[in-house]
C-alpha cells in the first residue's frame, strides 16, 4: 500500500477537505506534494497546479521560523515528522505568491499504513496573524506594567522581579549584588514653588542622569515619587559606592536645566548579606539613604 491509495484522492474526501478552513496537503515519504486543498490555495496564493508534484524542499513557500531562519532543510517539521514518526507543531512564516509573509501555525502528522509503516505525511496549517497580533499586544501590556510611564524607567514591580531573580542567582551561583537607594533632595519645594509639571520634567531629567551613569546591566527603577533604586548585579559594595560617587559628581557639575538650580540627591548603598531577605536588603538600602539625608543631604552613606 502507498499513500496514493488513501481516500483523499476520492471526490467525496476532496470535497470534505476543501470545506476546511485550514490549509491541508499530503506528501509521500520523499516530501512530494500529492494533494493541496482550497484553503491552502487561499492562504498561500498557489493553486494545486502550482504545487502538486513538486517537493516540499523545493522551497516554493520559503518557510522560515520566527527568527527568519529557513525551515526547509535542517528544521523542517515535515521532515522531522516523517523521520521520527510523530506529530510536530510549529509557528512559522510562509511567503505568499504575491511576496508578503503569512504567519501560520503548522501541525504535521505522519500517515501510517496497515503494517505501521510510514507512507507519508499530512500538514495542516492555519493563519496565525490574529494570534501574533494578540501576543504582541499582551507583550506590550506586560512591558507597560513594568515601566514608569513618566520617566520610562522600570517601575517598582520590575525592580522587585529583578531582585527576586538576583536572589535566585545568588543561591545558585553565589553571585552577589548591590543596591543603591536614591532620593532627590528638597524635591517637594520644586513642586510647591514651580508646579508639578516642572517637577515632572525635573524627574525626567534626573532619570536621564541615572541612565547615563549606571550600566546597561543595572536595573534603574523609579520606586515612587522622587525615590529611585538601582540594582547592580554581580557587584561588590566598593564598586557600587564608586558608581554612586560618579552620580554625585554628575549632579554637582551643573544646575538642572529644568529648574535652573542644582538637583542633588541623598544616596544609600548596601550589598547582599548571606542572611538577607528581599525585604531586608531593600530596607537597609533605604535606611542608608535616610542616614545620608539626615547627615545633611547631597552625600552617600554605605552600610
Domain shared by 35 and 173, yes or no: no
**Cβ(219)–Cβ(231) below 8 Å:** yes
Domain boundary among the residues 100, 133, 166 is at 133
SS3 of residue 125 by DSSP: strand
* 156 in the same domain as 129: no
The CATH number linked to 276 is 3.30.70.270
Give the pLDDT confidence of 44-79 residue by residue, as tens digits: 999 999 999 998 878 787 888 877 788 876 778 888
Same domain, 172 and 254: yes
Asked, for residue 278, whether it belongs to a domain, the answer is yes
Question: Do 89 and 180 belong together in one domain?
Answer: no
Mark which of 82, 110, 133 sits at the end of a domain: 133
Q: Are residues 117 and 155 in the same domain?
A: no
**161: pLDDT strictly greater than 90:** yes
- Range among 15-19, 96-100, 204-208 rated most confident: 204-208
Stretch 204-230: mean pLDDT: 97
Q: How confident is the model at residue 121 (pLDDT cuts 50, 70, 90)?
A: very high
- Do residues 36 and 160 both lie within one domain? no
Q: Is residue 165 part of a domain?
A: yes
- Cβ(285)–Cβ(179) below 8 Å: yes
Does a structural domain hold residue 89?
yes
The domain boundary residue, chosen from 109, 133, 157: 133
DSSP 3-state assignment of 217?
A: coil
Residues 4-47: tens digit of each pLDDT:
666 666 677 788 888 899 999 999 999 999 999 999 999 999 99
User: How far is 154 from 269, CA to CA, in rounded Å?
Assistant: 19
| 151 and 296 belong to one structural domain | yes
- Shared domain check, 238 and 93: no
pLDDT of the residue at 1: 58
Whether residue 273 has pLDDT greater than 90: yes
- Domain encompassing residue 31: 3-133
Assign 261 a pLDDT band (cuts: 50, 70, 90): very high
Check 41, 123, 166, 226 and give the catalytic one.
226
Of the candidate ranges 128-142, 149-163, 216-230, 256-270, the one whose mean pLDDT is the lowest: 128-142
3-state secondary structure of 140: helix
Q: Region 139-158: what's the mean pLDDT?
A: 86
Q: Which residues are paired to 70 by β-bridges?
A: 64
- Is the domain of 162 the same as that of 190? yes
Q: Within this chain, do residues 18 and 120 fall inside the same structural domain, yes or no? A: yes
Report the percentage of the chain scoring pLDDT > 70: 95
The whole-number pLDDT of residue 2 equals 66
Per the domain annotation, does 138 fall within a domain? no
CATH code, domain with 29? 3.30.450.20
Is 152 part of any domain?
yes
Residues 29, 94: Cα–Cα separation, whole Å: 22
The Cα–Cα gap between 15 and 184 comes to 72
* Statement to judge: residues 78 and 154 lie in one domain: no
226: annotated active-site residue: yes
Same domain, 30 and 150: no
Total domain count for the chain? 2
Model pLDDT, residue 207 = 98
Q: Is residue 240 part of a domain?
A: yes
Amino acid at each position: 500500500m502507498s499513500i496514493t491509495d488513501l481516500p483523499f484522492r476520492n471526490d467525496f474526501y476532496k470535497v470534505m477537505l476543501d470545506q476546511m478552513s485550514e490549509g491541508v496537503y499530503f506528501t509521500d515519504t520523499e516530501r512530494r506534494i500529492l494533494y493541496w486543498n482550497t484553503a491552502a490555495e487561499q492562504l498561500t496564493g498557489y493553486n494545486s497546479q502550482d504545487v502538486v508534484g513538486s517537493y516540499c524542499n523545493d522551497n516554493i513557500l520559503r518557510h522560515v521560523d520566527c527568527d527568519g531562519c529557513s525551515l526547509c532543510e535542517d528544521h523542517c517539521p515535515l521532515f522531522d515528522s516523517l523521520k521520527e514518526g510523530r506529530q510536530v507543531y510549529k509557528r512559522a512564516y510562509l511567503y505568499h505568491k504575491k511576496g508578503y509573509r503569512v504567519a501560520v501555525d503548522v501541525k504535521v502528522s505522519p500517515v501510517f499504513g496497515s503494517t505501521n509503516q510510514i507512507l507519508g505525511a499530512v500538514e495542516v496549517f492555519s493563519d496565525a496573524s490574529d494570534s501574533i497580533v494578540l501576543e504582541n499586544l499582551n507583550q506590550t501590556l506586560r512591558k507597560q506594567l513594568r515601566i514608569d510611564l513618566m520617566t520610562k524607567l522600570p517601575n517598582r514591580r520590575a525592580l522587585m522581579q529583578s531582585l527576586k531573580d538576583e536572589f535566585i542567582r545568588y543561591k545558585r551561583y553565589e553571585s552577589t549584588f548591590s543596591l543603591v537607594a536614591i532620593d532627590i533632595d528638597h524635591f517637594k519645594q520644586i513642586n510647591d514653588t514651580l508646579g508639578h509639571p516642572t517637577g515632572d520634567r525635573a524627574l525626567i531629567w534626573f532619570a536621564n542622569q541615572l541612565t547615563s551613569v549606571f550600566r546597561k546591566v543595572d536595573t534603574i527603577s523609579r520606586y515612587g515619587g522622587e525615590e529611585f533604586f538601582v540594582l547592580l548585579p554581580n557587584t561588590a559594595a566598593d564598586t557600587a559606592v564608586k558608581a554612586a560617587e560618579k552620580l554625585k559628581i554628575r549632579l554637582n557639575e551643573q544646575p538642572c536645566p529644568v529648574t535652573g538650580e542644582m538637583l542633588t540627591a541623598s544616596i544609600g548603598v548596601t550589598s547582599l548579606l548571606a542572611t538577607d531577605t528581599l525585604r531586608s536588603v531593600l530596607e537597609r538600602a533605604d535606611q542608608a539613604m535616610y542616614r545620608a539625608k539626615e547627615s545633611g543631604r547631597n552625600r552617600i552613606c554605605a552600610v
